[in-house]
């Protein structure tokens, strides 16, 4: 059984999910793939301790703090490849961005392969079930395009600005393809 609750944030209403001990989901209202990794029924229960820890983490984050991903016990549901991608996302520092291609290169090197598909990485990034905390918003296209955020490009920009990313440099909003 999974538990859920909601909380408000500067980017909209958030839904949190837990297995009772770990955070298993965090979705922004209207986000693509909202709740799709939950294998069981979700019962509303705001009293789960990890929800209180997550609210405090989010309050710190939205106040401009830089809380560590490790402060919250996370258990996102996904296959080995997705888990590998999400682990890399957790290592992207605040105020930084990385490209889908860079992540593909890191995985290819780790697996001792000549290459890896950036599109496969994009699929894993787009299906991240724990938005904000697993910072998929820090991933951009190889040309600097702010593409691929399932909660919407406006939310991606808002989160990057909050974290101090220089938005005036080479980052831009593409004319098409703003969500995976």
- Report the catalytic residues: 136
31 in Cβ contact with 150 (< 8 Å): yes
CB 74 within 8 A of CB 133: yes
Phi-psi region of 96 (alpha: psi -120 to 50; beta: other; left: phi over 0): beta
Could you tell me the end-to-end alpha-carbon distance of the chain, in angstroms, rounded to an integer? 29
Q: What secondary structure does DSSP assign to 92-142, as a single string?
A: SPTT--EEHHHHHHHHHHHTT-S---HHHHHHHHHT-SBTTTS-GGGEE-T
Helix, strand or coil, per DSSP, at residue 6: strand
- Token duo for residue 45: 């229960």
* Radius of gyration, CA atoms only, the chain: 16
Q: Cα(140)–Cα(73) distance, rounded to whole angstroms?
A: 26
């Amino acid at each position: 059984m999974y538990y859920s609750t909601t909380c408000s944030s500067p980017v909209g209403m958030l839904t949190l999910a837990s297995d009772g001990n770990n955070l298993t989901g965090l979705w922004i209202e209207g986000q693509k793939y909202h709740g799709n990794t939950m294998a069981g029924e979700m019962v509303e229960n705001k009293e789960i301790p990890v929800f209180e820890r997550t609210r405090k983490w989010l309050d710190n984050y939205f106040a401009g703090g830089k809380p560590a991903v490790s402060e919250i016990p996370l258990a996102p549901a996904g296959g080995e490849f997705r888990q590998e991608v999400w682990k890399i996302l957790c290592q992207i520092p605040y105020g930084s961005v990385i490209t889908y291609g860079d992540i593909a290169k890191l995985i290819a090197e780790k697996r001792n392969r000549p290459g890896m598909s950036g599109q496969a990485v994009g699929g894993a990034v787009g299906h991240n079930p724990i938005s904000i905390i697993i910072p998929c918003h820090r991933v951009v296209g190889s040309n600097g395009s702010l593409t691929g955020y399932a909660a919407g490009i406006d939310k991606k920009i808002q989160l990057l600005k909050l974290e101090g990313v220089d938005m005036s440099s080479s980052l831009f909003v593409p004319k098409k393809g703003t969500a995976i």
